[in-house]
Amino acid sequence: MIESGVIDGGGAPARVLPGTVLELLRSRIEAGRPETWPTGSAGRSPGFVTNAERAMVVLPAGEGDPGEHAVDPSADGGSDGFVLADGQCDEYPDQDTVPLAEVLRIVEHVVATGSWPADAARVADR
């Protein structure tokens, strides 16, 4: 089943399809909107917040579930500048975030299938 979804960021909601998700996410980042939570047609809402270099990517199983987040086990150090929609600015260990190219790959796969890519490293937050 091919997933689709919407991103509601004020104004008209933007439709998210596997072929358009990368362009939409890049445009949101460039517009200074680093936090994105598409609402998937199968009830999955992947989310990410980025500092334009790395991102925290999460995939809850449903409302109220902390879900799982993508990791980069070989990364060292930490990064800041992860600005949430409410203005809060977070810092994360680089092991708990992934490079932006990986974020885009993961989110595109989740929108297309409703699940993580099989090769995406992740940890459960439950």
For the chain, give every domain's residue range.
5-124
- Average pLDDT of the segment spanning 38-45: 64
Q: Taking all residues of the chain, what is their mean pLDDT, rounded to a whole number? A: 82
For the record, the structure tokens of 119 come out as 């090769």
For residues 4 and 15, the answer to whether their CB atoms sit within 8 Å is yes
Q: Is the pLDDT at 99 greater than 90, yes or no?
A: yes
Asked whether residue 17 carries a pLDDT value surpassing 70, the answer given is: no
Residue 7: burial class (beta carbons within 10 Å; 0-12, 13-18, 19+): middle
Distance (Å, whole) CA 26 – CA 107: 12
User: Which band of pLDDT confidence, cut at 50, 70 and 90, is reported for residue 1?
Assistant: very low
- Residues of the chain above pLDDT 70, percent: 79
- How many other C-beta atoms lie within 10 A of the C-beta of residue 37? 17
